[in-house]
A and B are shown apart, each in its own frame.
Chain A
Amino acid sequence: NAGVTQTPKFQVLKTGQSMTLQCAQDMNHNSMYWYRQDPGMGLRLIYYSASEGTTDKGEVPNGYNVSRLNKREFSLRLESAAPSQTSVYFCASSEARGDYGYTFGSGTRLTVV
């Protein structure tokens, strides 16, 4: 089925550990995004990639890095996890203008202890 696939679905990390969240889309979309969702704070943009080969910071980029590996894949890396990064992470993709809206993945629930 066409869509956005995120892995893993759940992860528990110890403070200071690193990990990479993977995202892939098969809709030939140009733009991809990483959001985090926290209770009462909605969805906040971490990083985005307007097109293959470009990445830019969003609202809350500190503590994260991203790689747009190719047109399909956009990964998010936590180099040294902190409890404040406990959240649900969503990857999304869209056409260049976004008229058709974002297509979101099903999320990764990350707990940092």
Chain B
Amino acid sequence: QQQVKQSPQSLIVQKGGISIINCAYENTAFDYFPWYQQFPGKGPALLIAIRPDVSEKKEGRFTISFNKSAKQFSLHIMDSQPGDSATYFCAASQGTYKYIFGTGTRLKVLA
């Protein structure tokens, strides 16, 4: 019940396309859902986050869509660029300090 399932494991997108990464959770007590971006050799960095009281949050080309009834949330990267090539992790937390991370999606954007 503590797992966060992330898909796909890897994704290849053409420059200018839309990248979509999905996550699903089971614990309805989760109340904070961040996405992290990690470049090779670096630590993950917070990209965008959402709480379950809203269905969508947009920051620039990055959008989180949240479906509380389905217990799913997704990251959309619009107009994907080669510089977006990285590993993306979704996560969830339950009113504590501990995040449960998904297994990651390796995104490659072709020039």
Contact = CB atoms under 8 A, between A and B. Distances in A.
Nearest to B48: A101
Interface residues of A, number: 28
B6 to A, nearest CB: 8
B43 A58 contact: no
A102 B45 CA distance: 8
A79 B46 CA distance: 32
A42 interface: yes
Contacts of A100: 46
Given A40-B103, A42-B103, A101 B97 contact: no
B32 A99 contact: yes
B13 interface: no
Given A40-B103, A42-B89, A105 B97 contact: no
Nearest to A97: B97
B47 to A, nearest CB: 9
Which of A43, A90, A105 has its CB near the most chain B CB atoms (within 10 A)?
A: A43
Contacts, number: 58
Contacts of B36: 101-102
Contacts of A41: 103
B102 A94 contact: no
Nearest to A51: B97
A97 B103 CA distance: 23
Interface in B81-105: 89, 93, 96-99, 101-104
Contacts of B99: 43, 45, 98, 102
Interface of B: 6, 9, 32, 34, 36, 41-46, 49, 89, 93, 96-99, 101-104
16 contacts: A4-B43, A33-B97, A40-B103, A40-B104, A42-B6, A45-B98, A45-B99, A90-B43, A96-B97, A97-B97, A101-B34, A102-B36, A103-B46, A104-B43, A105-B43, A106-B42
Interface of A: 4, 31, 33, 35, 40-45, 48, 50, 58, 90, 92, 94, 96-107
